[in-house]
């Protein structure tokens, strides 16, 4: 894959570059500020971009703004946002540019190399990757909603994993249950929330995210 | 119950009347004359009162004076209040009257102490009441004097020639009246004084009287600033306490949270090191545990930072930070923001945490389903209104939550009002004076 990388800490940028190269990916640009990022995103049109939210010159949300801008110019350009903090509002803004090929995860997830690479791949393939913290925050915002309160604890856990962008197999692994059980839970959850059942993993994730994110603001 | 409370507003008023003397509006002619008569009447009352005060003052060291004191003080105050009200009505001069509270018991003694203390309103009132019959009387009598003098001029015109013969000689002002010629002259001179009294002297005397009243009764700048200083002292000590409590909380959180987890992680890694040769399987489990510890520690550090200075507030400002609060609030929350630019960072932060706490309270206690937050800036005020459709009955005096918010806002001269009738809705309004800066991003 051709990857654009935006990260202002030299060590992390270097580490990520090496990690990506070790897994056989090509880093076509490694930048350390917002304006340069936007330029490389639109010029290079990479297979996926890994972007730190907080970048020079302002050290606020330059990365996010560049990502949103790039996705309006190049629709569905796959972008994975990294941040020291997850902010539901930022997730909402990123998702409002289309929920295909976006990801938003905590920086510390990088420490698990193999899983991080699979997250990148998921985003590059038009999938979604949301950090568990984003999802749990969105879930607290939905706690009082009528359909949410009808879910069992287990179903809620499954929903949380689902919204993160995991496949059935991934959910089964995370919750230590069988794939069959996962499928059963999911077929319970969707009617309860009034969501349409779909076959592909990604469609399902999008439906759940759209539900969680609806009238968030 | 409906508990509405407004924090005592001790900001200095801009209209204390001590400012530079702008040209005062003149009362229209005859009205001005009538007003000067009213003022003169009051000065006459002050005369009788001053005689009484003189007596009370002489007996003040004995029990009789102490007994008479409260009544005398309130009579002086009534008269002074009337004069102050007239000064405002006639000339638009506002004279502040900061009376100190008097305890119900020992009123006489307390008032005597106040009178003798000199630097306060009771003392100024008495001084004024003693001088007013002369000074105030002289100023307000001016127009009437002109009229009387005018009447005498007319009288001289008619009877002058006759009288000057009977009484040897008479004078009208500077004219020795000795015949018809000079008598007529005196009459003309007298006649001129009527319009002079009505249209010139009357209105001016009224304004002059108001100025004199202000000079006599207005408290000094120091006295006016005293409550402000008291307010600042209280809020400053509150601010210091709050800050100290905050630092202690951060210290405790670090100590019990991240620090403890890092210690545990160190021990786990140490154990792993020892088992490395003998039991690689156990080491794997320990390493997983260590990673979980590190994740947990990072999570706690994130929460801590969010509690000190939320990144979204730093990045985006109050509007988006409140929207973000709304997103994670269990209540369905609508947010309206109308801020052309960002408030000062400390004000922004205080407002943010106040909103955060109120939303949390609403979610916990109100039983509401929906909540509305409105943030706007007008007339130099940041105004935030939070309304929920819960059961109401929130009381600022019960519990420490709302009181704590009020105290923290007071540091910024902010006020908090709660309206929460039984069965709702509850509406919390905050107002913080602040200027908006140009939109900017924080740099670190």
Task: For residue A63, count other CB atoms closer than 10 A to its CB.
Answer: 27
Q: B-chain residues within 8 Å CB-CB of A92?
A: 327
- pLDDT for the residue B166: 79
The tokens of A8 are what?
């202002």
Q: Do A85 and B331 touch (CB under 8 A)?
A: no
B32-B33-B38-B39 Cα dihedral, nearest 10 degrees: 80
Whether the per-residue pLDDT at B10 is higher than 80: the answer is no
Residue B305: closest CA among chain A residues belongs to which residue? Answer: A85
B29-58 and B202-217 helices, crossing angle to 10°:
30
- The CATH classification of domain A2-131, taken from the options 3.20.20.80, 3.40.50.720, 3.40.50.2300, 3.30.450.20: 3.40.50.2300
d(Cα B320, Cα A207) in Å, to the nearest integer? 25
The number of residues making up chain A comes to 217
- pLDDT for the residue A82: 93
Task: Report CA-CA distances (Å) from B374 to A79, B386, B419.
Answer: 34, 6, 16
B152-B155-B161-B167 Cα dihedral, nearest 10 degrees: -60
Whether the per-residue pLDDT at B387 is higher than 90: the answer is yes
State percent of chain B over pLDDT 70: 93
Task: For residue A134, count other CB atoms closer than 10 A to its CB.
Answer: 27
- pLDDT for the residue B366: 85
pLDDT single digits (tens) B22-33: 567 777 778 888
CB B157 within 8 A of CB B183: yes
Answer whether A2-131 and A142-214 agree in fold: no
d(Cα B351, Cα B128) in Å, to the nearest integer? 47
The minimum CA-CA distance between B323 and chain A, rounded to whole Å, is 6
Domain map (residue ranges) of chain A: 2-131, 142-214
Task: Report CA-CA distances (Å) from B262 to A85, B255, B276, B290, B297.
Answer: 20, 10, 21, 9, 7
In chain A, the N- to C-terminal Cα span, in Å, equals: 36
Q: Do B330 and A133 touch (CB under 8 A)?
A: no
Whether the per-residue pLDDT at B1 is higher than 60: the answer is no
B315 vs A60, A133, A138: nearest CB = A60
Residue B297: closest CA among chain A residues belongs to which residue? Answer: A108
- pLDDT for the residue B443: 37
d(Cα A43, Cα A49) in Å, to the nearest integer? 12
Q: Which of B306, B327, B335 to mutate to test the interface with A (most CBs of A within 10 A)?
A: B327
d(Cα B415, Cα B4) in Å, to the nearest integer? 12
Cross-strand bridge partners of residue A128: A102
A62-73 and A88-95 helices, crossing angle to 10°:
10
- pLDDT for the residue A105: 92
pLDDT band at B439; cut points 50, 70, 90: low
| Residue pairs spanning A and B at CB distance below 8 A | 68
Q: A-chain residues within 8 Å CB-CB of B305?
A: 85
B441 vs A58, A111, A137: nearest CB = A58
Q: Do B327 and A141 touch (CB under 8 A)?
A: yes
The tokens of B23 are what?
């040209």
Question: Quick one: which of A93, A98, A74, A70 has its CA closest to A6?
Answer: A70
- pLDDT for the residue B23: 66
Q: Which of A53, A57, A60, A131 to mutate to test the interface with B (most CBs of B within 10 A)?
A: A60
Q: Do A108 and B295 touch (CB under 8 A)?
A: yes
SS3 A46: coil
Q: B-chain residues within 8 Å CB-CB of A143?
A: 330
d(Cα A84, Cα B301) in Å, to the nearest integer? 10
Q: Which of A61, A62, A65, A130 to mutate to test the interface with B (most CBs of B within 10 A)?
A: A61
Q: What sign results for the dihedral spanned by CA atoms B315, B319, B325, B327? A: negative
B323 vs A54, A112, A217: nearest CB = A217
Residue A85: closest CA among chain B residues belongs to which residue? Answer: B302
Contacts of B249 (CB under 8 A, 6+ apart): none
Cross-strand bridge partners of residue B416: B430
- pLDDT for the residue A216: 46
The minimum CA-CA distance between A144 and chain B, rounded to whole Å, is 6
B320 vs A57, A89, A111: nearest CB = A89
- pLDDT for the residue B22: 52
d(Cα A84, Cα A93) in Å, to the nearest integer? 17
- pLDDT for the residue B240: 92
A92 vs B327, B331, B332: nearest CB = B327
- pLDDT for the residue B160: 76
Q: Do B324 and A215 touch (CB under 8 A)?
A: no
Whether the per-residue pLDDT at B287 is higher than 60: the answer is yes
SS3 A189: helix
SS3 B429: strand
The tokens of A18 are what?
């090496």
Q: A-chain residues within 8 Å CB-CB of B261?
A: none
B302 vs A85, A88, A111: nearest CB = A85
The minimum CA-CA distance between A64 and chain B, rounded to whole Å, is 11
Residue A212: closest CA among chain B residues belongs to which residue? Answer: B327
- pLDDT for the residue A120: 93
Question: Quick one: which of B260, B269, B263 has its CA closest to B289?
Answer: B269
On average, the pLDDT of chain B sits at 85
- pLDDT for the residue B17: 42
The number of residues making up chain B comes to 444
B326 vs A133, A143, A217: nearest CB = A217
The minimum CA-CA distance between B221 and chain A, rounded to whole Å, is 46
pLDDT single digits (tens) B297-343: 988 898 898 888 898 998 899 999 999 998 888 888 899 999 999 99
Q: A-chain residues within 8 Å CB-CB of B320?
A: 89
Q: Do A137 and B306 touch (CB under 8 A)?
A: no
d(Cα B70, Cα B178) in Å, to the nearest integer? 59
Task: State mean pLDDT over B122-138.
Answer: 91
DSSP state of A157: H
Q: B-chain residues within 8 Å CB-CB of A138?
A: 327-328
Whether the per-residue pLDDT at B271 is higher than 60: the answer is yes
Cross-strand bridge partners of residue B386: B373, B428
Write out the residues of chain B at the interface with chain A, using a CB-CB cutoff of 8 A.
Answer: 291, 294-295, 298-299, 302, 305-306, 311-312, 314-316, 320, 323-324, 326-332, 335, 369, 441-444
The tokens of A52 are what?
């730190």
How remote is the C-alpha of B125 from its chain's centroid? 23
pLDDT band at B438; cut points 50, 70, 90: low
d(Cα B314, Cα B437) in Å, to the nearest integer? 14
Q: What is the DSSP annotation of B110-157? A: HHHHHHHH-SSHHHHHHHHHHHTTTHHHHHHHHHHHHHHHHHHHHHHH
CA angle (A213, B428, A145) in 5-degree steps: 30
pLDDT single digits (tens) B183-196: 888 888 888 888 88
Q: Which of A141, A143, A209, A213 to mutate to test the interface with B (most CBs of B within 10 A)?
A: A141
The tokens of A107 are what?
């920086």
Topology of the domain comprising A142-214: Arc Repressor Mutant, subunit A (1.10.10)
d(Cα A57, Cα A41) in Å, to the nearest integer? 17
Q: Do A138 and B443 touch (CB under 8 A)?
A: no
- pLDDT for the residue B141: 92
- pLDDT for the residue A48: 94
Contacts of B219 (CB under 8 A, 6+ apart): B96, B97, B98, B120, B121, B124
d(Cα B328, Cα A84) in Å, to the nearest integer? 18
Which of the two residues, B107 and A53, has the higher pLDDT score?
A53
- pLDDT for the residue B14: 41
Q: Do B328 and A141 touch (CB under 8 A)?
A: yes
Q: A-chain residues within 8 Å CB-CB of B302?
A: 84-85
In chain B, the N- to C-terminal Cα span, in Å, equals: 48
Give me the average pLDDT of each 10-residue run along chain A (217 residues): 92 91 92 90 91 88 91 91 89 85 89 88 89 83 70 85 84 88 86 75 73 60
Residue B228 Ramachandran class (φ > 0 left, ψ -120 to 50 alpha, else beta): alpha
CB A131 within 8 A of CB A104: yes
Cross-strand bridge partners of residue B377: B382
The minimum CA-CA distance between B407 and chain A, rounded to whole Å, is 29
CB B261 within 8 A of CB B293: yes
- pLDDT for the residue B15: 42
Q: A-chain residues within 8 Å CB-CB of B290?
A: none
CB A45 within 8 A of CB A69: no
- pLDDT for the residue B372: 95
The minimum CA-CA distance between B82 and chain A, rounded to whole Å, is 57
Q: Do B330 and A217 touch (CB under 8 A)?
A: no
d(Cα A162, Cα A24) in Å, to the nearest integer? 28
Question: Quick one: which of A166, A165, A207, A214 has its CA closest to A190?
Answer: A207
């Amino acid at each position: 894959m051709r990857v654009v990388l935006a990260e202002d800490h030299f060590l992390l940028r270097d580490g990520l570059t090496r990690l990506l190269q070790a897994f056989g990916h090509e880093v076509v640009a490694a930048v350390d500020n917002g304006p340069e990022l936007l330029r490389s995103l639109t010029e290079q049109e990479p297979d996926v971009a890994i972007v730190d939210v907080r970048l020079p010159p302002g050290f606020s949300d330059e990365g996010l703004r560049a990502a949103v801008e790039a996705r309006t110019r190049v629709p569905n350009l796959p972008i994975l946002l990294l941040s020291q903090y997850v902010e539901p509002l930022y997730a909402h803004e990123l998702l409002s540019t289309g929920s295909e090929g976006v990801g938003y995860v905590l920086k510390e997830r990088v420490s698990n190399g193999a899983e991080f690479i699979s997250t990148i791949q998921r985003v590059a393939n038009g999938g979604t990757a949301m950090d568990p913290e984003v999802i749990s925050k969105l879930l607290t915002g939905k706690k009082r909603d009528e359909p949410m309160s009808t879910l069992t604890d287990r179903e809620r856990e499954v929903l949380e994993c689902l919204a993160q962008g995991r496949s059935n197999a991934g959910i089964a692994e995370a919750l230590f249950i069988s794939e069959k059980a996962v499928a059963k839970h999911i077929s319970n959850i969707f009617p309860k929330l009034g969501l349409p059942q779909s076959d592909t993993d990604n469609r399902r994730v999008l439906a759940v995210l759209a539900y969680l994110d609806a009238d968030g603001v | 119950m409906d508990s509405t409370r407004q924090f005592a507003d001790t900001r200095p008023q801009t209209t204390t009347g001590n400012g530079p003397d702008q040209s005062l509006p003149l009362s229209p002619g005859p009205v001005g004359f009538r007003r000067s008569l009213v003022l003169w009447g009051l000065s006459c009352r002050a005369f009788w009162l001053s005689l009484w005060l003189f007596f009370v003052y002489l007996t003040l060291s004995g029990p009789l004076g102490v007994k008479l004191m409260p009544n005398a003080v309130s009579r002086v105050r009534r008269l002074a209040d009337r004069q102050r009200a007239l000064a405002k009505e006639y000339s638009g001069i506002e004279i502040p009257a900061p009376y100190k509270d008097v305890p119900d018991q020992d009123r006489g003694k307390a008032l005597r102490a106040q009178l003798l203390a000199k630097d306060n309103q009771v003392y100024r009132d008495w001084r004024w009441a003693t001088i007013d019959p002369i000074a105030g009387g002289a100023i307000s009598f001016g127009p009437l004097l002109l009229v009387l003098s005018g009447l005498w001029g007319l009288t001289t015109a008619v009877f002058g020639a006759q009288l000057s013969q009977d009484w040897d000689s008479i004078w009208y002002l500077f004219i020795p009246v000795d015949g018809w010629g000079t008598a007529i002259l005196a009459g003309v001179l007298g006649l001129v004084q009527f319009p002079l009294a009505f249209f010139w002297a009357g209105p001016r005397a009224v304004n002059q009287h108001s100025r004199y009243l202000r000079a006599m009764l207005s408290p000094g700048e120091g006295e006016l600033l005293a409550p402000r200083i008291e307010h600042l002292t209280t809020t400053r000590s509150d601010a210091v306490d709050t800050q100290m409590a905050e630092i202690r909380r951060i210290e405790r959180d670090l100590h019990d949270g991240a620090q403890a987890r890092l210690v545990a992680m160190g021990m786990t890694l140490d154990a792993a090191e020892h088992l490395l040769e003998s039991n690689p399987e156990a080491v794997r489990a320990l390493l997983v545990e260590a990673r979980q510890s590190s994740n947990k520690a990072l999570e706690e550090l994130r929460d801590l930072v969010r509690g000190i200075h939320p990144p979204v507030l730093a990045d985006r400002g109050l509007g988006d930070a409140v929207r973000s609060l709304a997103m994670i609030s269990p209540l369905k929350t609508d947010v309206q923001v109308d801020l052309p630019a960002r408030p000062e960072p400390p004000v922004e932060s205080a407002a943010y945490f106040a909103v955060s706490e109120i939303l949390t309270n609403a979610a916990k206690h109100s039983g509401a389903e929906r909540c509305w937050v409105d943030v706007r800036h007008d007339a130099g005020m940041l105004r935030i209104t939070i309304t929920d459709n819960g059961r109401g009955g929130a009381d600022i005096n019960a519990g420490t939550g709302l009181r704590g918010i009020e105290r923290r806002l007071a540091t910024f001269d902010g006020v908090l009002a709660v309206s929460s009738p039984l069965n709702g809705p509850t509406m919390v309004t905050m107002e913080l004076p602040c200027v908006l800066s140009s939109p900017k991003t924080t740099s670190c």
